[in-house]
């Protein structure tokens, strides 16, 4: 069953790159007392994710924060080293927090996993965006297969 508006975000951990290397970031640390836009992509450096999805959030990060968003976070079923490299290549510093869900555990916990074996990518995350306030889902925007509309930074910004 997929997460829905009004649900509390499930507990879990992500990997992020800290100054001294990879570190765990709990969902409690990410969501408690904050307004967070969490968006997910099927994979780092993949065409739509790299050309449109992540750049939209980087470019609109100031406007999103101006609407009361404390943290903008990008999640993908990739390892922390790939997410760190993608964040650096995309100019994410101080704009978008890159979260590695390396085994897809959090995508599964949300009920938003994607079977991408047909593309040689294994189990991934669906493309989506969530607005979370103090750990509770306020908005949920899940893309239809092959689409990129409702999870875009522009769409999320319009609905804040």
Instruction: Report, at the CATH architecture level, how domain 13-158 is classified.
Output: 3-Layer(aba) Sandwich (3.40)
| H or E element, residue 24 | strand 21-26
pTM equals: 0.94
Is residue 87 pLDDT above 80, yes or no? yes
52-56, 67-71, 91-95, 116-120: least confident range: 116-120
> What is the mean pLDDT of the segment spanning 56-80?
97
The pLDDT, as a whole number, for residue 46 is 84
Residue 114 confidence (pLDDT): 73
74 annotated active-site = no
Position 21 scores a pLDDT of: 95
Given 36, 41, 49, 114, the catalytic residue: 49
Partnered with residue 18 across adjacent β-strands are 21
Q: What is the mean pLDDT of residues 14-18?
A: 96
What are 95-152's pLDDT values in tens digits?
999 999 999 999 999 999 976 676 767 577 899 999 999 999 999 999 998 899 999 9
Tokens of 142: 């899940």
Handedness of CA 122, 59, 153, 24 (dihedral sign): positive
């Amino acid at each position: 069953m997929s997460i829905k508006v009004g649900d509390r975000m499930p507990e879990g951990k992500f990997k992020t790159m800290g100054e001294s290397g990879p570190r765990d970031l709990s969902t409690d640390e990410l969501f408690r007392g904050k307004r967070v836009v969490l968006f997910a992509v099927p994979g780092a450096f993949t065409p739509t994710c790299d050309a449109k999805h992540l750049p939209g959030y980087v470019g609109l990060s100031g406007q999103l924060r101006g609407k009361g968003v404390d943290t903008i976070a990008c999640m993908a079923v990739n390892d922390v080293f790939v997410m760190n490299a993608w964040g650096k290549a995309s100019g994410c510093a101080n704009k978008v927090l890159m979260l590695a869900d390396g085994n897809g555990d959090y995508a599964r916990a949300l009920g938003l996993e994607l079977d991408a074996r047909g593309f040689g990518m294994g189990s991934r995350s669906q493309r989506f965006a969530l607005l979370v306030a103090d750990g509770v889902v306020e908005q949920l925007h899940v893309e239809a297969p092959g689409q990129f509309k409702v999870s875009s930074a522009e769409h999320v910004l319009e609905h804040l």
